[in-house]
Amino acid sequence: MTRAALNSRHLFLLTLFLVIGCAREREEPRALPADIVAKIDSATVTIDQLRSFVIGLPPGLLANEREDEAARTKYLRSLLARHLLSIEARERQLDQLPELRTKLMERWRQHIVTIYRQQALASEVRISEEDIRTYFEQSGLDRQRQFAGILVADESLAQKIKAQLEAGGDFAELAAAHTIDQRSADRGGLLGYIDIEQAYSLRIPAEIFRSLPIGDISPVLPMGENYQIVRFLHDRPVALDEKRQQIRDLLYERGLADAEEREIRRLERKLEFRLVPEGVALLQDKASLHTRVRRQHLSPQESVQPLFTYKGGQVTLGDYLDLLWKDMRALSGWGTKDTGEILEASGALVLGKMMLFEAARRGGITERPEEQRWLAEIREELMITQLRQQEVISNAEVSREEAEDFYDDHEEIFREETQYIFVELLVETEAEATAHRSALERGETISSLAQQFTVRPGMREEAGMTHMGAYERITQPLLYEAVRRAERDEIVGPLRVKDGYCLFKLLDRQEGKLKPFLEVEARARALVRAQKKERLFEEWIDALLEKYDDRISISDQALVTALPDTLLQRLTDRLSTENDQ
C-alpha cells in the first residue's frame, strides 16, 4: 500500500512511535537530562514547554485519541514539527534565497528603526498639561453639539430645501417630509449629540462643526452619494479627562515625527549622502525598458550597484527599489525616470529609514543579544514560511472536478439553513419546569401551558409557537442544538438555557435547499484546498520524521511527567464539555 493510501492519522502515529522506539534505543547509553522530553540536534523540548503548550491549546486542537500514549504522541509531534521544519529549511539553505533575504532585511530595518525611535528619539518629546489643554480647546474636542439633519439623494432638492429654510421654512417639517434617514424622520431630523470626530465621519467639515452658530443652517454638504443640510441646537461641554490620553498620544506621535525629522536632517549632514551617477544611469536605463522597475528586473550584480553612498556604507539599487515599492506611486514609474524624481522618492521613502538604521547600527543597537535573537527568530519564521510554500501550498491546487466531488459528497455543508418550528415553554426555575413536565405527562398540552406560564417575551400570545433558524443558532446556541437533535413530536426538557429552563416540542423540520454548485464553487474549492494542505503537511512531517530519525532523541519518562494521565483526563473532560455545548 502506498503512503498516500494510508490513513494519515495512523501513519503519523506509527511513524512517531517508530522514531520514539529508535530514539530510546539510541539514547539508552546516554540519557537525556531529566527536564528534557525530546532533542533534535541542539534544539530541545522541555517538560515545562510541552505542558504549557498543551494546556494553552484551544479546544478545537485538543487530542481526541482514546489512549493516553497516542495523545502524548500527538502533542509532542506538534512541537517536534516546528524544529523539523527549521532543520529542513537550514539544510536547503533557504535563507540564501534573494527574495527571502529581501524580506528579512525589510523587517530587520523596520524593527531596528522602531527601537531607535523609542530609545533615542522618544526622550526628546515633551508633552505638558498646557499643550494638552490648548489642543483640547482649539481642536473642538471640548464640546459636543446636538444636531439635526435633512438627508436627500438629489442635490437640486437639497438646494430647494435650503432656500425654503432661508425663507423661514420649518426645519422639522421639511425633515419629516424629505429626509431619507429613517432614524430621524419622525423626530424632525434630530440625531443627537456628536463630537468633532463623529462629525468628520458624518462628512460635516471641522470648520462647520466649530463655527456654525446654534440655530443657523449649514450650506448643502455632500455625504457620499447623498446631500445633507445640518443645524446645531445645543452645545454641552466635554470633560478634559475624557480626552486627555487620546490627546497625549496624538501630540506624542506628532512630537516624535518632528524629532525624527530633526534627526534625519542631522544625519544627512553627518553621513554625507551622495548620489552615485552610475547607479542613476542604470536605473534610468531599466526605466526605459520597464514601465514599473522592480528588483527582479536587475541581475544579481546590478542589484548591488550603489545608488547612494554615505560615510561607512551605501544604498544599493536593489534596496532602493524594494523601499520604493512601499509607495503606490511606483505603479506609474515614479522614482525611476529622472534625477529629480529619484531624489524626491529617496527623501520620502528611503534615506530617512536608512539613515535612522545606520545611526542605530553605529549606536550598537543591532548587536544587542536581544535584537540578534529577534533577527534569528524572524529568519527562521521566513524560512519555514518559504518551505511550506514550496512543499504544501504550491502543491494544493484544486481542480473543478475535485470541488464538484466534494460538493456531491458533502451536500449538508452547502444547504441553506434548516428551519425549525416548535412550541416552547420557558420558565425561570428548574423546579417549575419539572412540575410542568409532570403536567404534560398527565395529559396537558404544551401549547396551553405556554399560553399561561412562558416567560419568553411575546410568546404567550403565540402559545409558545417559535420559529428558529440561522440567527437563533448564534443567539441561542444551546437551545438551537437541542432542537436540532430532537425527534418530531418529542417533548424535550427541562433544558437549561440562557434565560431559564425550557420544555419544547418539535413540530416540523424544514430542510434547507441545496445551493447550486456554481453559487458555492469558491467555497468548495477552499474547503478541498484546506483538506489538501492539511494532508500534505501531515505526510510531509511524516517524511521528515523518517529523514531525521537518527537525530531525534525522546525520553519516555519525561514525556509522561510532562503529560501525566490526570492532565490528559482533564483535557479530555474539557473537550467533552465543549462538544456538549
Supply the pLDDT for residue 14: 42
pLDDT at 28 over 70: no
Q: What is the pLDDT of residue 339?
A: 87
What average pLDDT score do residues 549-564 get? 91
Residue 212 clears pLDDT 90, i.e. is over it: yes
425 pLDDT higher than 70: yes
pLDDT of residue 17: 45
d(CA 367, CA 313): 17
pLDDT of residue 2: 32
Q: Which helix (H) or strand (E) holds 327?
A: none
Q: Which residue has the higher pLDDT, 183 or 153?
A: 153
Contact 425, 450 (CB under 8 A): yes
Rounded mean pLDDT, 238-246: 92
Report the greatest alpha carbon distance in the chain.
Answer: 101
Convert the pLDDT of each residue in 439-498 to its tens digit: 999 888 999 999 999 998 878 888 888 888 877 777 788 888 899 899 999 999 899 988
Predicted confidence (pLDDT) per residue in 253-263, tens digit:
999 999 998 99
Give the highest mean pLDDT range of 368-377, 526-535, 539-548: 368-377
Of 51-60, 122-131, 167-176, 367-376, least confident by mean pLDDT is 51-60
Whether 437 and 494 have beta carbons less than 8 Å apart is answered as yes
Going from the C-alpha of 509 to that of each of 166, 472, 485, 515, the distances in angstroms are 61, 15, 11, 18
> Is residue 29 very low, low, confident or very high in pLDDT (cuts 50, 70, 90)?
very low
pLDDT for residue 11: 43
Q: Is the pLDDT of residue 513 over 60?
A: yes
Dihedral pair phi/psi, residue 277, rounded to 5°? -55, -40
Q: In the prediction, which pLDDT does 26 show?
A: 44
8 A C-beta contact, residue 451 and residue 464: yes
Q: What is the CATH number of domain 416-510?
A: 3.10.50.40
CATH fold for domain 143-237: Chitinase A; domain 3 (3.10.50)
pLDDT band at residue 572, thresholds of 50, 70 and 90?
confident
**CATH 3.10.50.40 domain locations along the chain:** 143-237, 416-510
What is the C-alpha separation between 390 and 382, in angstroms, rounded? 12
Q: Long-range contact list for 184-188, CB < 8 A, 24+ apart?
A: 184/148, 184/149, 188/148
Mean per-residue pLDDT, 305-309: 91
* pLDDT for position 576: 65
The b-or-e profile of 108-142 (16+ CB within 10 A means b, else e) is bbebbbebbbeebbeeeeebeeeebeebbeeebbb
Mean pLDDT of 546-557: 90
Is the predicted pLDDT of residue 356 greater than 60, yes or no? Answer: yes
User: What confidence score (pLDDT) does residue 251 get?
Assistant: 95
Which pLDDT does position 403 carry in this prediction? Answer: 93
* pLDDT score recorded for residue 579: 54
| Mean pLDDT, residues 210-223 | 94
Average pLDDT of the chain, as a whole number: 87
Burial class (CB in 10 A: 0-12, 13-18, 19+), 66: exposed
The pLDDT assigned to 470 comes to 72
Residue 43 clears pLDDT 80, i.e. is over it: yes
